[in-house]
Amino acid sequence: MEKYSGILLLLLPILMSFVAVSLNSGYANAAVFLPPEDKPLVRHYYKKLNTCANVEPFVQHQVKLYWDKDKTITAKLLKLLYADCMVNGCDASVLLTGPNTERNSSKNARLDGYLLIDKIKKVLEIRCPRTVSCADILNLAVRDAVHYAGAPSYPVFLGRRDGVESKAEWIDYPSPSMSWEEGLAYFESKNLDVQDFVTLLGAHTMGQAHCSSFYDRLYDFQGTGKPDPSMKRSVLVKLRDQCPKNSKNDSPVYFNEEYGSNYTFTNKLYTKVLAHESLLRVDQQLSYGSDTGELVDEYAKSLELFRRGFALSISRMGGLKVLTGKNGEIRQDCKFTNKNNPNIN
């Protein structure tokens, strides 16, 4: 597992530079570092085509206005991107509203961030009509939101088109109580790897989990009628107080209380894993796999290593099963396909 040791800190800047250089020279021939795609995405896609040269500053400005008022938008957008890309690919299908859609599924009841994406889309439709996809907007907005929270501002590959259907039955999120083996298998089924799995779970450092997501760890771990023995006793006592037994209370609990109020991007999730203080079993489980455990150790020791790893892995997730060329469409309203848009005659 030496490839995930300290040498990664030296390797990641080279990988990121190589990807950026390759994209600046044209299409993404650096796909060895990205998941397979039907067609490659392009850095500064709209600028190169001269269709919406200032799309990135436009998005960045709107995200900054929103983020200044509501720091929780970072976690909300991250969850929205995950819900989109890990279910049928990054095609903005999660934004479509209507019966039996992903958005209206009970499994996505807590998703948020739609209003900001709609705001950005309205601005871009005024400046660059029928040009910028909702899928690209979501990826750009996430990049800017996590950057304001403390992550690096990584290059976003563009040229996605929007999907024209969305089905609740596509949703296949795994349980937050899964083992590390099950979690890794899920990520690998999406063409992501062990580094992506461990790294992207680090996004939990900026959000909240509800009592129902870890209730079993507090009172009935794997049907034993006892708490999860891997949870630190002081943490167990505290969480039981916040999530009482047999209560319908499903309150949100910060992953990191020290930083929860301002949603700062940190590597604290990994230090909590090492201290057996994780809320979710899947996070705590990272310490038990040889490869996952080594990455946890490295990220816990180095915020910079985590920052660079996060930039790479979220870029890879943003390239999953994208629609390009003549596939899909450019929606005029992210909530509707153009065919079903009530505002299009």
| 205 is an annotated ligand-binding site residue | yes
Residue at 72 is within a domain: yes
Q: Which two tokens stand for residue 109?
A: 């009841």
- Residues of the domain holding 313: 42-207+255-339
| 174 is an annotated ligand-binding site residue | yes
Residue at 215 is within a domain: no
| 84 is an annotated ligand-binding site residue | yes
| 210 is an annotated ligand-binding site residue | no
Of the candidates 330, 228, 245, 239, the one whose C-alpha atom is nearest the C-alpha of residue 281 is: 228
| 93 is an annotated ligand-binding site residue | yes
Residue at 143 is within a domain: yes
| 87 is an annotated ligand-binding site residue | yes
Residue at 139 is within a domain: yes
Residue at 12 is within a domain: no
| 102 is an annotated ligand-binding site residue | yes
Residue at 304 is within a domain: yes
What is the tally of structural domains in the chain? 1
C-alpha–C-alpha distance, residues 314 and 142, integer Å = 9
Q: Residue 263: give its domain's CATH number.
A: 1.10.520.10
Per-residue pLDDT of the chain (345 residues), as tens digits, is 544 444 444 444 434 443 433 333 333 333 334 554 445 899 999 999 999 999 999 999 999 999 999 999 999 999 999 999 999 999 999 999 999 999 999 999 999 999 999 999 999 999 999 999 999 999 999 999 999 999 999 999 999 999 999 999 999 999 999 999 999 999 999 999 999 999 999 999 888 889 999 999 999 999 999 999 999 999 999 999 999 998 878 888 887 765 445 678 999 999 999 999 999 999 999 999 999 999 999 999 999 999 999 999 999 999 999 999 999 999 999 999 999 998 876
Residue at 220 is within a domain: no
Enter the pTM of the model. 0.88
The residue type found at 324 is T
Residue at 117 is within a domain: yes
The H-or-E segment that residue 43 falls in is strand 42-43
